[in-house]
Amino acid sequence: MANGEQVVGALRGSYDGRSVNVSRLVRHFAHRRGGVATAVVARFTTPLNDRGAGGASVFVLDRTPDADRWWAALEFDDNGNVPICRRSAPTSDTNQWGSA
């Protein structure tokens, strides 16, 4: 995601035809709490949700209370001691991946 000519957020992920996996998510520090990361996740997951993705997972490298709350707000649940959060498949035709 760019702001003018400056890159302020990026995501690396995959889709195997069934589920979404987010392996890296970054945003520029100056844009913290500005909705950039939420917008990047939504931009990646929404089209895949529309194609019938059966859930999503994210590898959370730096586990912090703030990060855990943020992923939980996007409906990703903690997977115990493994640094992975998962989100169930949407249950209706509406976009349940979250919005920017």
Q: pLDDT of 38-82, one tens digit each?
A: 898 888 888 887 887 777 888 877 778 888 888 888 887 776 655
- Alpha-carbon span 72 to 4, nearest angstrom: 30
> Residue 12 — pLDDT band, cuts 50, 70, 90?
very high
Please state the separation of Cα 76 from the chain's center in Å.
Answer: 8
Length of the chain: 100
Concatenated DSSP letters of 41-68: HHHHHHHHHHTT---EEEE-SS--HHHH
> Residue 88 — pLDDT band, cuts 50, 70, 90?
low
Q: What is the pLDDT of residue 59?
A: 81
Mean pLDDT computed over 13-17: 88
Going from the N-terminus, what domains does the chain have, and what CATH number goes with each? Answer: 2-87 (3.40.630.30)
pTM listed for this prediction: 0.70
The pair of structure tokens assigned to 100 is 């920017």
Name the DSSP class of 31: G
